[in-house]
Amino acid sequence: MCFVGNSSGLIRLTPRMPLFTSPPGYTRIKLVSSFHELVTTPFADGINALCWPRTLTGDFREIVEQLGASEGIMPLDEERLNALSLSTAGRAAREILLGDQRLLREHGLSPELNCIQSYPRDEEAAPVPIDVYSFHADSAPVEADTWLCTYHGPASESLRNDEAQRRVDVPATRAELLKQFGGKDGGDFREYLSENCYDLHYAPTPGARPFSFGLGNLWRIALDYPGCPVPPCLHRAPETIPGQPPRLLLIS
């Protein structure tokens, strides 16, 4: 954390993070240098994640502190953000939050900004976790992709496709799911897996090296839809640790 002076006294700036770089040897991520490139680059040749690395200036912590979120998920609309009384650095952060949403809306998307202390968790133990704390692929019935940016707090995490195994393909898990299903392996069972989202969740393989999407970076990632030319980008929400600051997350 550093402090700089301005005409109204000292302001607090978010610490500068190093720009995102892909995990060594991993070729499914393409870094881009503009929003235009982020929008227009197709998912092809195995690339399933596009990242526009950014270092954002502004005090996102001030926004989170003023919101005072203490549990669950607080949706942030323009009205709520504009009602905050902020310092110069806080206002700079607010402009970024509003500006990113504007960009995405102009591109025909429906972004949501949330202040997140924690997500709902699976209520009961199941053979396959299906909450967002588990590595998963997003899915859609038609061509689509997921956009996300963490501005503050722990960032979203990702798992390389070559270090992941679908949980429903783990023999012991599949056997347990078959027992729960009460039938045979086949089309009906696969439909059951799909209806319950069991087939979208992945386990890290031994020695897997999950990585962080980082703060401030805007991501466009591939999801699972019929005919998608690349495997989906696997991701999860970071673990909620008591006492840690809430997250500011843009998602579309």
Where on the chain is the footprint of Fe ion (CB under 5 A)?
A: 138
CB of 138 to Fe ion, least distance (A): 4
Bridge pairing between strands 49-52 and 218-222: antiparallel
- Strand locations in the chain (E): 2-6, 9-13, 29-31, 49-52, 73-75, 112-116, 145-152, 157-159, 164-166, 202-204, 211-212, 218-222, 234-236, 247-251
Closer residue to Fe ion, CB minimum distance, 181 or 210: 210
Rounded CA Rg of the chain? 20
CB of 189 to Fe ion, least distance (A): 24
Closer residue to Fe ion, CB minimum distance, 158 or 173: 158
CB of 235 to Fe ion, least distance (A): 6
Exposed / middle / buried, residue 124 (Cβ in 10 Å: 0-12, 13-18, 19+)? exposed
CB of 205 to Fe ion, least distance (A): 20
Closer residue to Fe ion, CB minimum distance, 138 or 163: 138
CB of 234 to Fe ion, least distance (A): 9
Closer residue to Fe ion, CB minimum distance, 100 or 138: 138
CA-closest candidate to residue 49, choices 228, 180, 170, 201: 228
Shortest-Cβ-distance residue relative to Fe ion: 138
Amino acid, res. 215: L
CA-closest candidate to residue 135, choices 22, 232, 241: 232
Closer residue to Fe ion, CB minimum distance, 59 or 138: 138
Closer residue to Fe ion, CB minimum distance, 20 or 219: 219
State both tokens at 236.
């999860």
- Strand locations in 32-144 (E): 49-52, 73-75, 112-116
